Structure 1
Amino acid sequence: MDDQANISLIRQCYDSFLRGDIEHLLTFMAQDIRWDLPRMEGVPYSGKRQGIDQVREFFQLLDRSQKPLEFHPGEFVAQGDHVVVFGHYEWAVKSDGREWGADFAHSFRIRNGKVSSFHEYTDTHAAVEAYRAGAGASAGQAAQPDRPSMH
């Protein structure tokens, strides 16, 4: 695939996420996908995963843990099989409503028209602090299928 086709693929991934259609999002991923977020103490969805089932689990944990307030993928940069997206997001921790936000860089690798790896770079300190502040709050709230702002 060329650079523009790879960017188009990643845009479709974000569009599926923004619609809350995780099952459709997963169709863009290789079966053996590597999914890598930094390990963040107290942040339930953080850490490394391998394969579609573990990535599905990531999105389930993300949905149970925090609500998207804003999610803005901005600049898309592609070179060969690599696409990097720079953006910004804002979240609310569901257990106590504490808000946090950060700029991010998402690095994707494409293989045979599918996402074969994902790595997130973000302000891990902001996430850890938001979850640390809510550590004493009840984490048993029911997750609602909230949708992020598409601004």
Structure 2
Amino acid sequence: MSSEANVQLLKEAYRRWNDSKGGSVDYWFDNIIGPQISFGSIPRGAEPLAFATDYNDRAKLRGYFDGLLAEWSMQHYTIDEYIAQGDVVVARGSTAWTCKKTGKTAETPKVDFWRFKDGKAIEYYEYFDTNCVVEATR
């Protein structure tokens, strides 16, 4: 697929993610995430964000979404810019989530790195202000 096709896939997925406030997990698995994916997150599983770690198994990757949605409520997920070259797409924007335990909201810049093969994501890594998110859990 072309770079533009990969961007269009992500635009629709992010639109659904924001509009459903995180309720579109199945859409991501059905339409974006490939059968084999390398998935990483900048906290690398450090507490209190144990779910935000590395996954190399599609079935176990559900644990990321289960943990995220069990512990946090999305306020918004806004992507302002897509940068695409070859099989790579970088999505840049911001997101805000409220910690269910404390009621505190973390608003942070967000960058998502994607690599595609045959129209499915095979690599993902997310970058965000971990300090801001950890502080919302306290």
Residue 117 of structure 1 aligns with which residue? 123
Superposed CA RMSD: 1.3
Residue 21 of structure 1 aligns with which residue? 24
Residue 69 of structure 1 aligns with which residue? 75
Please state how far the C-alpha of 1:16 moved relative to its aligned partner: 3.6
**Alignment check: 8 A CA contact 1:16 1:22 kept:** no
- In the aligned structure 1, how far is the partner of 2:106 from the partner of 2:24? 24
Residue 112 of structure 2 aligns with which residue? 106
Secondary structure in 2 matching 1:49: coil
Unaligned runs of 5+ in 1: 134-151
Aligned counterpart for 1:45 among listed residues 48, 51, 56: 51
- Deviates most, 44-53 or 88-97: 44-53
Please state how far the C-alpha of 1:6 moved relative to its aligned partner: 1.1
Residue 11 of structure 1 aligns with which residue? 11
1:33-56 deviation line (CA, Å, top 9, x unaligned): 111002233113211111221222
Count of matched residue positions in the alignment of Structure 1 and Structure 2: 132
**Alignment check: 8 A CA contact 1:35 1:119 kept:** yes
The residue type paired with residue 5 of structure 2 is A
Please report the TM-score for the alignment, with normalisation by the length of structure 2: 0.89
The structure whose Rg is larger is 1
**Alignment check: 8 A CA contact 2:37 2:121 kept:** yes
- In the aligned structure 1, how far is the partner of 2:76 from the partner of 2:14? 13
1:15-41 deviation line (CA, Å, top 9, x unaligned): 342331211210121111111002233
**Alignment check: 8 A CA contact 2:102 2:136 kept:** no
- In the aligned structure 2, how far is the partner of 1:17 from the partner of 1:122? 17
